[in-house]
Structures are given as C-alpha cells and as structure tokens.
Amino acid sequence: MAIPDYETIMLPLLKLMRDGLERSVGECIGRLAEEFGLSDEEKRHLLPSGLMPTFNNRVAWARTYMKQAGLLESTRRGFIKITERGRQILRGNPEKITGRLLSQFPEFVEFQSPKKETKETPAAQNSKGDQTPEEMLEYAHQRITAELSREILRQIRTCSPDFFERLVVELLVKMGYGGSLQEAGQAIGGSGDEGIDGIIKEDKLGLDTIYIQAKRWANSIGSPEIQKFVGALHGQKARKGIFVTTSTCTKDAMDYASKIDSEVVLIDGETLARFMIDHGLGVSTLSTYELKKIDTDYFAEE
C-alpha cells in the first residue's frame, strides 16, 4: 500500500495507546508500520531532504498534533501515553481523527493559528492532512528549484557557445577541481579545438588533467557524439573527460560511456542546472529559512 498520510495514522496510533501503557515513539513506528503492512522499501522511503524516513516523519506529526490537542502526553523523552481526553475520543468510535476533529479543542486551535498569523496560515492550508509541515516545505522547495533549473537552462541557451564553455570550466572550479579559476582551468573553444572545449586540472597539485566538451544543444546527445569526444581524448592521450550538454543524453550514449576504458562523465542539462544552484553559480540567494526543533537535552534536569 502507499505510505499513509499523518491524519490516517492518528486513529491507529491512538488505538495503539488505548491500554494506557507508556510506549516509545520507536516502538509505535514499528507497530504501526506492521499494522499498515508497509514494505521494507516503503519504510525506508525518505523525505526529499533525505534526512528522515517519510513514515517516521508522519508518525511524529500524528503524535505532535494529538499531543497539542491533549489526546496524548509525553511522559519522558521519546515516550508517550494516552490521556483521559484521548480515551473519550476513542469511546466516541470515530471513523478517523482529522484536523477538523481536533479543532474542537482550544489548545489545538491555538497551536495551529499563532496570534501573529493570518487566516491563510500553512497549517490551515494543510487541512487535508496529506503532507506534514516538513513535507510541504521540502516539496515547495523542490518546485521552486525545478523552475529555477528550467530558467537557468533557458538563459544558458541564449548565451554564446564561448560563454557556455567558460561557464562549464568555472562550475568545475567551484566544485573543487584545481585551485583558482586562473590556475585550474581554461576554455579553449574555437574552430581548432579538435573536439575539446576546455581543460581543467583534476586537483590543486595538477596531478592529472580533465578534458571538457560542452554542447549548448536542444537535441538529445546520442552515442555518436560521445564516440567523437572519446576520439578527441585519445588524440590528446587523455584518460579522463567530462561531456556537458544543456539537453539530455540518450540511453545509448550513457551505455557507451559506461563501457569504454576512458573515464567519461556525462552531465545533462538538469544535472548541470542543479550543480549551478548547489554551488552558487549564476544564482543569488533570495531568502534563507532555518528549520529548528526543540533540544530536549537542554531541558533535562539532573
């Protein structure tokens, strides 16, 4: 089955706690995963950040929402227990516990609507319960980044081939190849480049050299283009090369690059844009947000 959203998790979690026993969050996650019949792959599925399993995150938010509504309480770090209010909810035999149901409790309303926020708070917009707040932030960030990537590629395609070649060399320097831009890399370009658009040192000591081919194309790159590049590498007695394109690489091209003796890395347009964003090339920071959580160790009294 698909990984359940956090609202779907709330009632099974509350029922799990109906015996009044104290349980660790880890135990709850394990038992709920078994109850929902999640596969190992679904249990390992991570949030877009890659920092936490999606199911664990949704169980954590199901617990948080019910704690804020007074249905569960924390007994000690990482442990929870049902409250009398939680038992009352179960005695009503609800089909599902939702944000609307929890909104009957003033504590939960205050939790969702801080005084300084307007009616259109993120919490209110998330009333369907299909995503946790972290997921909403991360997927929103993904959408913004995807649009930024498309804009970067559109802009690159309006630039000259020479500019694109210099851009690729500058990006590789920002990624840690060589030292300064002047020392580490150079763009060759021109009609006499013999299939090589740039050269960059592999490290700051210049122990090896990497040759670059940069194609500012709209059409997909097939294996013939990669074969030509490999031939150019052989002409330079080079062992390593990077082929960069603003478009895509066909499966044949990727298969060919993976089977040859020379080390050739293919970078398509999507990867190129992502690298530029990650390393701050051609982009500027508009806003920065820090996502913090409580440090329970700070509040632990000896």
Identify whether residues 36 and 93 lie together within a single domain.
Answer: yes
Asked, for residue 152, whether it belongs to a domain, the answer is no
Total domains, the chain: 2
Query: Which CATH number do you get for residue 170?
Result: 3.40.1350.10
**Across 17-21, 82-86, 237-241, 295-299, least confident range:** 295-299
User: Which pLDDT band holds residue 298 (cuts at 50, 70, 90)?
Assistant: confident
Inform me whether the pLDDT recorded for 285 exceeds 90.
no
**88 band by pLDDT with thresholds 50, 70 and 90:** very high
pLDDT at res. 25:
92
Q: Is residue 207 part of a domain?
A: yes
Q: H helices within 126-262, ranges in order?
A: 133-158, 161-174, 181-184, 223-235, 251-259
What is the Cα–Cα distance from 7 to 96, expressed in whole angstroms? 8
For residue 170 the two structure tokens come to 């500058």
| One domain, residues 11 and 120 | yes
Is residue 136, in this structure, part of any structural domain at all?
no
> Could you report the per-residue pLDDT of 192-207, keeping only the tens digit for each?
455 687 788 777 666 7
- Tens-place pLDDT, residues 174-231: 888 866 556 555 555 544 455 687 788 777 666 788 889 999 888 899 999 999 999 9
Residue 15 belongs to domain spanning:
6-131
Where residue 65 sits, what CATH number does that domain have? Answer: 1.10.10
- 185 with 249, same domain: the answer is yes
Model pTM greater than 0.85?
Answer: no
Q: Are residues 10 and 127 in the same domain?
A: yes
Does residue 196 share a domain with residue 249? Answer: yes
Which pLDDT score, from 0 to 100, does residue 66 have? 95
196 is a domain residue? yes
- Does residue 219 share a domain with residue 121? no
Say yes or no: 174 and 267 in one domain.
Answer: yes
Give the pLDDT band of residue 20 (cuts 50, 70, 90).
very high
Same domain, 124 and 198: no
pLDDT at 129 over 60: no
The answer to whether residues 13 and 56 belong to one domain is: yes
- Nearest 5°: phi and psi at 211? -100, 145
| Structural domain contains residue 143 | no
Q: Is residue 34 part of a domain?
A: yes
The answer to whether residues 104 and 177 belong to one domain is no
Whether 125 and 172 map to the same domain: the answer is no
Q: CA–CA distance from 90 to each of 16, 99, 246 (Å)?
A: 11, 16, 57
Is 146 contained in some domain?
no
Query: pLDDT band at residue 29, thresholds of 50, 70 and 90?
Result: very high
Residue 104 and residue 215 share a domain: no
Does some domain include residue 78? yes
Q: Which amino acid is at 244?
A: V
Coil vs helix vs strand at 39: coil
248 or 137, which is more confident: 248
